[in-house]
Amino acid sequence: MKKVFLAYMISCLVLSICHQRAVQAGDFVLSESYPADGQTVTASDLHNNGIYLKFNNPVDRKTTNYINIYYVTDGFMCGMDVCGRIEYAENDTKLIRRLDTDTYFTRGKHFEIELGSNIKDISGNKLRTPRISFKIDDCNPTIKLNISGNSSFYDCGDTITVQVHLTNPACGSKLEIEGKIWLELPDKRQISLTDPPAIFILYPDDDISFNLLNYSFSGNEPFGLYKIGARLINPLNGNYYCRDIVSFEFRPDKCP
């Protein structure tokens, strides 16, 4: 009798495991996404990568029109395949939404991707993931330039030190920069201090300081107001990034 009962229990356990595997095999789930649910991303990363949804089974293309993007901050909803183009990849298990023509995905905004049971795989299994919520961080990707001197007035024998400070926030992008630096004399003539222009790469989260000028006045320089300015541009198209100017005066009170 014990052997019969034991055999019965083992058969029930085997049937239960088989049933669970059968259910799991028929599940249609979202296995990966970018952005992930609850993630905060940068605007540049989002535009570079796009939005993608990765499923465990090939999706039925006829049901992808039920995927909606809710622009929470702006207060409207749009079909994922209506306000942009969808690309299918990896045997239709991956959907990619490109953002190259969508101007709403900017810093500080909140979005939700509405999924739900109307989305099915090619076997008719319904999706079990309801929605994905993500945000774009509100970091300002603007690079900053600051020029500073150690004084506003100089006399014979004094040394002027001019420093440049460049910052590119973590949410910024890798940029090729052309730096132009000039000196304006008291008679308004301008002299380039970068010939040829300095071209360099500025990476996200860079914080760079360097001495631009270290000069001691001898008394032979023109008296009056000087200006040192710097401007950062894109070397390919000339687009302007930022500029800064510092002024100082050479007064010959101590000159022989």
Among 59-68, 95-104, 139-148, name the most confident range. Answer: 59-68
Instruction: Provide the residue ranges of all domains of the chain, joining segments of one domain with +.
Output: 28-136, 144-250
Q: Which fold has domain 28-136?
A: Immunoglobulin-like (2.60.40)
Kind plus residue range of the DSSP H or E element containing 91: none
For 144-250, the fitting CATH number among 3.30.420.40, 3.20.20.100, 2.60.40.3880, 1.10.150.530 is 2.60.40.3880
How many residues are recorded in the chain?
256
Q: How far apart are CA 187 and CA 250, in angstroms?
A: 13
Closest by CA to 169, choosing from 207, 208, 137, 200, is 207
pLDDT band at 7 (very low <50, low <70, confident <90, very high): very low
Cβ(215)–Cβ(228) below 8 Å? no
Region of poorest pLDDT, from 9-18, 47-56, 138-147, 246-255: 9-18
Amino acid 141: pLDDT: 67
Q: Which residue has the higher pLDDT, 205 or 14?
A: 205
Q: How far apart are CA 193 and CA 164, in angstroms?
A: 13
- Asked if 28-136 and 144-250 have one fold, the answer is yes
pLDDT digits (tens, 9 = 90+) for 207-231: 999 888 899 999 899 999 999 999 9
pLDDT digits (tens, 9 = 90+) for 64-91: 999 999 999 999 998 888 887 889 999 9
Q: How far apart are CA 86 and CA 113, in angstroms?
A: 14
AA identity, residue 151: S
pLDDT band at 24 (very low <50, low <70, confident <90, very high): very low
- The pTM of this model reads 0.52
Burial, 172: exposed, middle or buried (Cβ in 10 Å; 0-12, 13-18, 19+)? Answer: buried
